[in-house]
Chains A and B, each alone.
Chain A
């Protein structure tokens, strides 16, 4: 098992290295001259040249890459091109913390709920409850986030006034403030994930219920609840874990729409801003972070898989 984890970590580092090359290459392909974009159309040639010089834009691409990689590893992620040239790292870390809070809230909300719905649906396979869950979850997954988000804001924020509509956050927030602020965006994302995880769980549970060991457990006289929770779920949730891990990756970067709707200062919104402004230091750092979260989520999923599945752990 330890060998297996070491192997996976080696693979993660290698993946990060390859993606860093791809990201760097892609940012070079973004249209427009960075200096002109940042300084504006009226900038003098001298100012442009000075900008290129201070940001090492005149170096050859491999040299730029080597410098950037060295900086990235040592923790110097460069300075943003935006006004005041703030350090990239603290800026992004602040955003990442916000997104992480939102992500955790989404997982806490969506995972137990969707697994519960999936199990209930599987135990009532083709019954009325199964159909209701299927119709409900597919109906919400069909709606884009900006529609559900706007509807939720209208109902819960404007009409009922239970939760704030704008997730403007401040560092002075208490835990309760955070919960209230994060509730509506989390609910929006949960509705997206719900159908996905629930369907996966349902399929897994139905598959496992057909296996002979379930009959063995039944004929041992075990109570139904113990059979489902102890025997079936442990095996049925393995594919679900992968789906949840992939969703974590999605949460890191894919919350763009939700963050826009709720005006939430997270990584996704920062990423969009960086792309439009061709703010390459910020862009590269965010993409690296997203890849890292994505790959580590997969690693965590694989390790969980190993813990749950002795056939992998003991190989």
Chain B
């Protein structure tokens, strides 16, 4: 076994809040060898980013390291001054940040910002460093590197910026790289490309890397070893195959079980981890996970378990890991989903036809100077139908127009043209022309619950106000109060939550309140825009179960928007795939997920990282980037990136709708039968395997 390039021994980190110090990283030991990628997984608040930056000896001003050791390449990092660290930062250890738009200076070209680092550490002249920056951009597979080097960060897409950040981090060939959630903000189709780049470049450089993520899927596909962090402590650390195949810590098991996965049995529930993560101020005295652990005993609550070596060469911090290894966690008692009310699935609840929404307008100055103007064609002739008591999942990459389409339906944006029908009656595209009662029928749940709740209103006030405004008859204060309690109970919160302010709620609890508010007036349709994407995996499972239960209990329908196909596959019974303002494929979840016909859907589904390193599905890579909605390609909108493009017809003619049976339709020039034949050909099976 090669010696580790970075060794962390019994590291503790404290944060100062007010006048007291709170321990956030507790007794962490970690070794990373050259030529390996080490995954660090944890939910928000687990301390994973703090730990990752501490490995570079970079701490927040209110943080300290009371004890522990960090050794990098034989040097003790903790004894170095900041001035000494500046020779290591960027030269021997580099960071690839999460949000590369914010992490780059808006006022300098990306080429300048890459050149700066080689000038600093390699002592080369300005001219040469600029050439090297272009070369680095070429290495991260940017097709026109000389041009991109001259651009400013705001002129590049998220995927391009992430490549720039990688080019910058690698330009000095560092020995150790820290990748802090580098693909979280990206679409899956871009993510697969970036992950491949990491793999190739890190191994080319024989570097070591720490990959920080909350996403077990990407960890499974990218990393060699994994460390699971919870409450600032290592729960488990093992080679990736061992960890996913035979997890020994109850938290790891719970985390893996709470992931949504597509299954044919649609009436299943996700398993969840009870309770919430510990807060900084009061850590449990015993095992940090004991309060949420299904198998915790009195020893677990009283004493902190030590980090123990397992038989497979891993580490685990659990008193009962041997019991877990032999007996497992036991199945969670299967709670059946609430019983469905009789489904009248044939009648459409809502039909939106040929919706068009363009943004931007020609200014007076443009008209005077005869400047050509092209609007952003966010939604460009899209039609969807939502049946009673069902969930339509709308998927697509960022910029596909899915949120705009949903906003047009609830009239937060008024569509430029197109018809919307509710219960087969036409309704206006404008909010102020819709009758007040219609507000009740359609409600929305937004992505970020923190932004949608007024911080100065208690939960009770927020819900009470909605009830008062939307209910049919005048409600007495006592009636409102009892309804608020009912609503809270329906989202599995206790009545005392009515007195709390949003700041006193966790992210998951806030989203429950937002959901309760959406259901306050018994809506027929709830539009949920990425309702779980700001939540951690274990909380996401709870919210997804809740959404599934509520739909059945309240007899509502959902329009669910998500970029996460696993979430859609779990919750939706019908899927519509959107690309550049139009629907390209729709059908039942089962049909679309199991056999995506449209080349775009096929690529999208193939790019989902599976949280199981043993599964290595062939990935279909899409060329280039999503074209701008200001400049939509002619003919089939997907032809610029389509791996199955057949010729000129794709560039000139809009593809027709084809029905593959049972309402599974695609918009493509290639015949469905031919697509199936191509997908199943043996040549195809080899293509794209890693």
Is chain B a partner of chain A in the same complex?
A: yes
Q: A-side interface residues toward B, CB under 8 Å?
A: 3, 7, 211-213, 215-223, 231, 234-235, 308-311, 314
Is there contact, CB below 8 Å, between A7 and B365? yes
List residues of chain A with CB within 8 A of the CB of B13: none
In this complex, what residue of A is CB-closest to B99?
A212
A230 to chain B, nearest CB (A): 8
B461 to chain A, nearest CB (A): 33
Please, what's the 1-or-0 string for B385-400, where 1 marks a CB less than 8 Å from any CB in chain A?
0000000000000000
List residues of chain A with CB within 8 A of the CB of B117: 220-222
B58 within 8 A of A: yes
In this complex, what residue of B is CB-closest to A214?
B105
B89 within 8 A of A: yes
B152 within 8 A of A: yes
In this complex, what residue of A is CB-closest to B178?
A219
Residue of B85, B88, B105 touching A213 (CB-CB under 8 A): B105
Is there contact, CB below 8 Å, between A220 and B116? yes
Name which of B90-98, B420-428, B571-579 contacts chain A.
B90-98
Which residues in window 601-617 of B have CB below 8 A to A?
none
**Cα distance A218–B102 when bound, in Å?**
14
Is there contact, CB below 8 Å, between A211 and B94? no
Residue of A7, A216, A234 touching B103 (CB-CB under 8 A): A216
Is there contact, CB below 8 Å, between A219 and B154? no
B342 within 8 A of A: no
List residues of chain A with CB within 8 A of the CB of B347: none
List residues of chain B with CB within 8 A of the CB of A218: 58, 89
Is there contact, CB below 8 Å, between B107 and A234? yes
Is there contact, CB below 8 Å, between A310 and B107? yes
**Cα distance A212–B91 when bound, in Å?**
19
List residues of chain A with CB within 8 A of the CB of B120: 220-222
Residue of A7, A219, A220, A309 touching B107 (CB-CB under 8 A): A309
Beyond A213-B104, A213-B106, A219-B95, 8 additional pairs, beta carbon < 8 A: A3-B369, A218-B58, A220-B120, A221-B91, A231-B105, A234-B105, A235-B106, A311-B152
**Cα distance A216–B168 when bound, in Å?**
10
Which residues in window 115-144 of B have CB below 8 A to A?
116-117, 120-121
B56 within 8 A of A: yes
Is there contact, CB below 8 Å, between A212 and B102? yes
Is there contact, CB below 8 Å, between A219 and B56? yes
List residues of chain A with CB within 8 A of the CB of B155: 314
B86 within 8 A of A: yes
B321 to chain A, nearest CB (A): 37
Is there contact, CB below 8 Å, between A221 and B121? yes
In this complex, what residue of A is CB-closest to B95?
A219
**Cα distance A235–B168 when bound, in Å?**
21
A16 to chain B, nearest CB (A): 19
Is there contact, CB below 8 Å, between B86 and A221? yes
Q: List 25 A-B contacts (CB under 8 A).
A: A3-B365, A3-B369, A7-B365, A212-B97, A212-B99, A212-B102, A213-B106, A216-B95, A216-B97, A216-B103, A216-B105, A218-B89, A219-B94, A219-B95, A220-B89, A220-B90, A220-B94, A220-B120, A221-B86, A221-B87, A221-B121, A222-B116, A235-B106, A309-B107, A310-B107
Is there contact, CB below 8 Å, between A221 and B90? yes
**Cα distance A262–B211 when bound, in Å?**
67
**Cα distance A221–B86 when bound, in Å?**
4
List residues of chain B with CB within 8 A of the CB of A231: 105, 108
List residues of chain A with CB within 8 A of the CB of B121: 221
Residue of B58, B102, B105, B152 touching A314 (CB-CB under 8 A): B152
Please, what's the 1-or-0 string for B62-101, where 1 marks a CB less than 8 Å from any CB in chain A?
0000000000000000000000011111110011010100
List residues of chain A with CB within 8 A of the CB of B85: 221
B468 to chain A, nearest CB (A): 40
List residues of chain B with CB within 8 A of the CB of A311: 106, 152, 154
**Cα distance A235–B103 when bound, in Å?**
14
List residues of chain B with CB within 8 A of the CB of A309: 106-107
Residue of B58, B86, B88, B109 touching A222 (CB-CB under 8 A): B86
B contact residues, total (Cβ < 8 Å): 31
B147 to chain A, nearest CB (A): 14
In this complex, what residue of A is CB-closest to B91?
A221
Is there contact, CB below 8 Å, between B90 and A219? yes
**Cα distance A98–B200 when bound, in Å?**
68
Is there contact, CB below 8 Å, between B365 and A217? no
List residues of chain A with CB within 8 A of the CB of B106: 213, 235, 309-311
Is there contact, CB below 8 Å, between B365 and A235? no
**Cα distance A308–B152 when bound, in Å?**
12
Is there contact, CB below 8 Å, between A221 and B88? yes
Most chain A C-beta atoms within 10 Å of own C-beta, residue among B105, B106, B109: B105
In this complex, what residue of A is CB-closest to B102?
A212
List residues of chain B with CB within 8 A of the CB of A211: 102
**Interface pairs A-B: 9 shortest CB-CB:** A221-B90, A220-B90, A221-B89, A310-B152, A212-B102, A213-B105, A221-B86, A212-B103, A216-B103
**Cα distance A297–B89 when bound, in Å?**
42
A276 to chain B, nearest CB (A): 44
In this complex, what residue of A is CB-closest to B107?
A234
In this complex, what residue of A is CB-closest to B58?
A219
**Cα distance A235–B107 when bound, in Å?**
7
Is there contact, CB below 8 Å, between A216 and B104? yes
List residues of chain A with CB within 8 A of the CB of B103: 212-213, 215-216
A236 to chain B, nearest CB (A): 11
- With A221-B88, A311-B154 as known contacts, state yes or no: A235 contacts B58, CB within 8 Å: no
List residues of chain B with CB within 8 A of the CB of A217: 105
A216 to chain B, nearest CB (A): 5
**Cα distance A310–B104 when bound, in Å?**
13
Is there contact, CB below 8 Å, between A310 and B58? no
**Cα distance A65–B284 when bound, in Å?**
82
A36 to chain B, nearest CB (A): 48
List residues of chain A with CB within 8 A of the CB of B89: 218-221
Is there contact, CB below 8 Å, between B154 and A310? yes
**Cα distance A212–B88 when bound, in Å?**
19
Which residues in window 153-168 of B have CB below 8 A to A?
154-155, 168
List residues of chain B with CB within 8 A of the CB of A222: 86, 90, 116-117, 120
List residues of chain B with CB within 8 A of the CB of A216: 95, 97, 103-105
Is there contact, CB below 8 Å, between B87 and A235? no
**Cα distance A220–B87 when bound, in Å?**
9
**Cα distance A222–B85 when bound, in Å?**
10
In this complex, what residue of B is CB-closest to A234?
B107
**Cα distance A221–B118 when bound, in Å?**
10
List residues of chain B with CB within 8 A of the CB of A213: 102-106
Which residues in window 329-387 of B have CB below 8 A to A?
365, 369
**Cα distance A239–B532 when bound, in Å?**
38
In this complex, what residue of A is CB-closest to B154?
A311
B585 to chain A, nearest CB (A): 36
**Cα distance A213–B86 when bound, in Å?**
16
List residues of chain A with CB within 8 A of the CB of B102: 211-213
A13 to chain B, nearest CB (A): 15
List residues of chain A with CB within 8 A of the CB of B369: 3
List residues of chain A with CB within 8 A of the CB of B99: 212
List residues of chain A with CB within 8 A of the CB of B107: 234-235, 308-310
A11 to chain B, nearest CB (A): 11
**Cα distance A309–B106 when bound, in Å?**
8
**Cα distance A314–B152 when bound, in Å?**
9
B161 to chain A, nearest CB (A): 12
List residues of chain B with CB within 8 A of the CB of A219: 56, 58, 89-90, 94-95
List residues of chain A with CB within 8 A of the CB of B88: 221
Most chain B C-beta atoms within 10 Å of own C-beta, residue among A222, A235, A308: A222
**Cα distance A213–B116 when bound, in Å?**
14
A205 to chain B, nearest CB (A): 14
Is there contact, CB below 8 Å, between A223 and B86? yes
Most chain B C-beta atoms within 10 Å of own C-beta, residue among A3, A220, A234, A308: A220
**Cα distance A222–B155 when bound, in Å?**
25
List residues of chain A with CB within 8 A of the CB of B116: 220, 222
